[in-house]
Amino acid sequence: MKPLFRTIWRWFVSWNVGAVTAVVVFFAADFRFWPSFVSGMAAMWGVSAVMKRRHRLVAGVPVEEQAYVRSQLHEARALWKRLRRARYRLRSVAMWQTVSRLGAVVDQLIRIVEQKPHQLRLVQPFFLNEWPTAVEMVEKYVYLSRQPVQSADMTEALRKTERLLSELTEAAERQLLDVLSGDVWSLQTEAKVLEQSLQQPDRLHLRYLQGEPQFKR
């Protein structure tokens, strides 16, 4: 819904709620004008404020930030596609496994932020710093590793890149665990509540032992 239509709809709803409130208070207050007028204005203002705040928040993120979130996800996804293309040109099995792990973790991070935009605050430093650097390193690694000749410095740089990307993959996995920690806590809480509920004595069975009928006609 466009901002103009959203504003018109908010005015329409708040005005009608205020009018209905004013009429109800007018009859309830023995046909007094000022109490009904004040009540109607208060109801209209309150409904308008609530609707305005509701429209400004989408999945916990202000509307003004939605475009920024989408742009960040677009850039992260574009880098992920570059990483996937570079992965198929790798000759090292160990490096292929590392890059595959990194790609899978980042893909999951992107999907989580797509569903929960407020999670961008947690992964934004990674998306802005380590992630672009990692993709650049993989592409340069592919380019250098496919050369027909290699110097000692080139070999050392390739080995160092393998080590750093392995460490970065582990850091990305820890980042994913941090993002999922809220869901883990929620699941643990629900499981604890269910466990406590299941541990309560069976009331129907207790009534049966006490000789009370379980069902009444």
Q: pLDDT by residue (tens digit) across 183-201?
A: 888 888 888 888 887 777 6
AA identity, residue 97: Q
AA identity, residue 163: R
Res 39: pLDDT: 74
Res. 54 pLDDT band, cuts 50 70 90: low
List C-alpha distances in Å: 120 to 64, 80, 137. 14, 16, 24
> For 197-207, what is each residue's pLDDT tens digit?
777 765 445 45
DSSP H or E stretch at residue 61:
strand 61-62
Weakest mean pLDDT among 41-45, 111-115, 170-174, 184-188: 41-45
Residue 40 burial (C-beta neighbours within 10 Å; 0-12, 13-18, 19+): buried
CA 30 to the chain's CA centroid: 52
Residue 62 pairs with which residues in a beta bridge? 57
Whether the predicted pLDDT of 61 surpasses 70? no
- The model carries a pTM of 0.63
Residue 210 burial (C-beta neighbours within 10 Å; 0-12, 13-18, 19+): exposed
Q: Alpha-carbon distance 23 to 33, whole Å?
A: 10
**CA count, 13 A, side-chain hemisphere, 155:** 5
> For 62-121, what is each residue's pLDDT tens digit?
666 778 888 999 999 999 999 999 999 998 999 999 999 999 999 999 999 998 888 888
**Contact 143/85 with Cβ under 8 angstroms?**
no
- Rg from Cα positions in the chain: 30
Res 2: pLDDT: 45
- Which is more confident, 129 or 61? 129
Weakest mean pLDDT among 54-68, 113-127, 152-166: 54-68
Whether the predicted pLDDT of 4 surpasses 80? no
**Count of Cβ atoms closer than 10 Å to residue 111 Cβ:** 12
How does the average pLDDT of the chain come out, rounded? 81
AA identity, residue 42: A
Q: Alpha-carbon distance 157 to 152, whole Å?
A: 9
- Overall average pLDDT of the 129-152 stretch: 94
Res 149: pLDDT: 92
**Contact 157/101 with Cβ under 8 angstroms?**
no
